[in-house]
Structure 1
């Protein structure tokens, strides 16, 4: 087993990565189960694929499972209210550990519910998608979506433990796997050009289910995120903001598609990263060859690299209007994650939204 620690002082927690971990989850969770009972939340797709296996791995622990609809629509006020009511009806206490078995939607929703029920109870992440395993299950960002945009209602609330079983990815569809891979590539583009080289050489094997490639990508990604979160947990400095590479453009694309299955989060991030690099090149910050290399690699694995490929035809002004609701907006100005090259991402605070709109319109042209 690989164990990576998210170092946050008294709130530090382990991230365990091991094939078959779901089959022995009870050994890890038994000390966290009050009176041998656990409250678990999942969605219909994960329940069909993994819930029986999880129950068998937790033999001897009573599992109260709440099964929600799959998809981004579950990150809503209505589902949050229903879930918190169920938690209170069951008798969740502050010392309990609620289990989030699922992808990023379930992790975000359960984390936020756990942050607010009785002013905060514990939760455990058991991520079942590549995207959740390499990104959203680690770091303590929890949220639901609002009419104005994605993840605008939430809280920082760290899990007590993260259990990652790469074997669960065997049941994941190819589209969801590719979407998760976008978040893997992100770590190379932020500050690890050697890892981006590795991604170029090994993406095919990883996406085809090669166990060694999959484990390496997950561990390398978690190590990178744990390091950054440990340095800047609440994004009060520019360090953790680097994890948002591709997200400002990507969230605008998601908003334009209604946060629906038309565009998965990882697909939006892929297009957003390609746009960020091309915008950086247009501003003279980044070599055009680097921007082209990023787009070429993402396209090679079947991910969108433009608004058009993400099925978005809106004008630049429309997309920028979505960006204006970004939670990172400060003093009327929105920081952008741009790049001076592969592995050289930085926070730019001098970007004019009108310039971004003009760039997006040039992309349409």
Structure 2
């Protein structure tokens, strides 16, 4: 005998649609988890990673150099691995604190007025240093550029990014811009380009805008990885657009990250300036160009496609890709979390990252959700005021 299901007020699709709060938590917690998983193996090849760990990384692992992490690379004496987030998450949380101060859309001047002081005035717990320190003492050289140019050089914030190496430094912490502009990729793109102008130029700045747009697109109800890619291809310019198109077209033929590792690297290689050996960049690496792109964003989008939007395969594919995999996994983690909400992020990972890094991963999400709602309300007021003014200027178009 069959029975008729009792009608409910919402369909299964409606019940499973993440809320704004859920998407923001998913994106930010997912980004931090991806960052922590990728940090341990940053800079290595897929082959070296598999050899070191006896196979693919499937979760939180110890440092690549084990207990020699402090001395193995003197230029970067950081405790990567063991669930520690890196500068990607530190910068993301710093940008959220800027939003909490400004409580509106940001621009390059907000970076100078608020983000730079965040780096140089208030000590924070730095997981990789296992100590409280100024964030400036952990961020890498491309981010120290912000302090040198804006605090000491007094450069126009809109132009301060010119001259810095062109890398993913500005992109890696742009998820909050996409979340404040949730569902509005065009707005996220424009705002992130302005913010990133203080940090980067050329395709590094472009990637920041496109990543923010991708996060905003992932927040659309019913969004899919293919739809996110379609949205960003409508906005991306020059080599960034070409690289995303090439990588994601290749990714569409795979549903297993192991099989996709080599093909995705081959697809992005013509646009990547670093070259085959990540530790030994080519002579033309990270210089401005309209023909090239950062590697991290196209690969993150490609892994999102390969994983079908699911967090675990997207992030593990990003981690095992190697090279700058903490930033790749930060981006893919943010995108998957925005698509599916926090429930897609394995709790055993997020809980351990929070514990090991001594960070509350949910407080920044709650704060940014409040700001996003306030900014949206202001946007509505501004739009309505413009409509009234334009109507007064133009009159009724239906009148002869």
TM-score past 0.5 threshold: no
Comparing both structures, which one devotes a greater share of its residues to helix?
A: 2
What TM-score results when the alignment is normalised by the length of structure 2? 0.27
What TM-score results when the alignment is normalised by the length of structure 1? 0.29
Ranked by relative contact order (alpha carbons within 8 Å, sequence separation 6 or more), the top structure is: 2
